[in-house]
């Protein structure tokens, strides 16, 4: 059974990628299993300057259907990441590394992407224009085609590595955003990021999150993510990394049938730290059950 896939001519041993924000820089998970079983790793979202993130509390559970987070892009800043985190990650992991980049202005995106483009440990730059829990940044660039196009063009003008734009589901028409990114030169797309949500503490009569709203992720968003991946796959020609509520190998196959080439696993890592490893181990057996010889043959069959 052949599980290899390719993103912009970069081969992954399988399509399973831990999603940014749910896997840190890999070090914690390396204590549990060999990271090299993974197809890729999208490490913690990185900004130009260090960020503490939003005020506490910033996590809220949503029963068995998922969770809300308003972490607010907490990270040590790109200079620290390039100097310290990436060399350490590369010692632990030899596969494909995706640098997830966020910003609050075009200049921010450009600066951070240039630094990631020069980092030898980075293979693909994943540009987050879809963060729903940071004020005046992130999602502001991902909700209008013109703004998404502007960020994409600016980043592509200063980078040589493949650029994948991470899209927001909190829009009226995600295909319009996807086409704008493709026309501006994006090498690929990643979708979806979290859906804006809210929980209220009925005893305290106030929002659970200090930020009031947060990004909803987990199995409850999977059908929405699958629909959007399918819509975008039918609208563009560039490869897609599908994510949103993926928990098991069956979800990976379903995402690929919808049109994804690779699949990111997010909230599942926070519930079960072994989730990605278990998915990777299950994939070949599932392929045998479904009579799939090569995973690439199922990409977009439901498109």
Token digits of residue 248: 């098991």
Question: How many angstroms from the chain centroid is the CA of residue 269?
Answer: 13
Once rounded to an integer, what is the mean pLDDT over residues 281-299? 98
Rounded CA-CA distance 132/215 in Å is 6
Average pLDDT, the chain: 95
Give the span between the Cα atoms of 288 and 253, in whole angstroms. 12
User: Which class is domain 5-298?
Assistant: alpha beta
Beta strands in 162-225 (DSSP E): 163-166, 188-191, 195-197, 200-201, 206-207, 214-217
Q: Which residue of the set 131, 181, 243, 276 is catalytic?
A: 131
Q: Are 128 and 45 in contact (CB under 8 A)?
A: yes
pLDDT tens figures, 164-218: 999 999 999 999 999 999 999 999 999 999 999 999 999 999 999 999 999 999 9
Active site includes 62? no
What pLDDT, on the 0 to 100 scale, is given for residue 132?
63
According to the model, what pLDDT value does residue 300 have? 98
Global pTM reads: 0.96
Question: Can you give the pLDDT at residue 142?
Answer: 85
Q: Give residue limits of the domains in the chain.
A: 5-298
pLDDT digits (tens, 9 = 90+) for 101-149: 999 999 999 999 999 999 999 999 999 998 765 655 556 688 899 999 9
- What pLDDT band is residue 40 in, cutting at 50, 70 and 90? very high
């Amino acid at each position: 059974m052949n599980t290899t896939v390719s993103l912009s001519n970069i081969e992954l041993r399988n399509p399973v990628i831990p999603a940014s924000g749910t896997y840190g820089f890999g070090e914690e998970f390396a204590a549990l299993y060999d990271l090299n079983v993974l197809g890729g790793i999208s490490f913690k979202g990185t900004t130009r300057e260090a960020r503490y993130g939003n005020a506490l509390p910033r996590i809220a559970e949503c029963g068995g259907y998922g969770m809300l987070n308003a972490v607010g892009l907490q990270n040590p800043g790109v200079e620290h990441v390039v100097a310290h985190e990436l060399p350490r990650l590369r010692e632990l992991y030899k596969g494909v590394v995706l640098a997830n980049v966020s910003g609050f202005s075009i200049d921010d995106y450009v600066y951070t992407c240039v630094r990631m483009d020069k980092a030898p440990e980075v293979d693909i730059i994943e540009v987050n224009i879809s963060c729903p829990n940071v004020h005046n940044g992130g999602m502001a660039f991902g909700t209008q085609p013109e703004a998404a196009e502007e960020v994409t063009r600016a980043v592509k003008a200063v980078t040589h590595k493949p650029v994948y734009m991470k899209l927001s589901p909190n829009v009226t028409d995600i295909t319009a955003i996807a086409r704008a990114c493709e026309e501006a030169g994006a090498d690929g797309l990643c979708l979806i990021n979290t859906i804006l949500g809210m929980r209220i503490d009925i005893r305290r009569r106030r929002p659970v999150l200090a930020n009031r709203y947060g990004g909803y992720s987990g199995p409850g968003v999977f059908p929405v993510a699958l629909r959007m991946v399918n819509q975008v796959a039918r609208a563009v020609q560039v490869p897609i990394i599908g994510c949103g509520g993926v928990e098991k190998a069956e979800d990976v196959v379903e995402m690929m049938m919808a049109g994804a080439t690779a699949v990111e696993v997010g909230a599942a890592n926070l519930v079960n730290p072994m989730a990605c490893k278990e998915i990777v181990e299950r994939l070949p057996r599932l392929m045998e059950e479904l009579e799939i010889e090569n995973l690439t043959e199922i990409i977009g069959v439901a498109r």
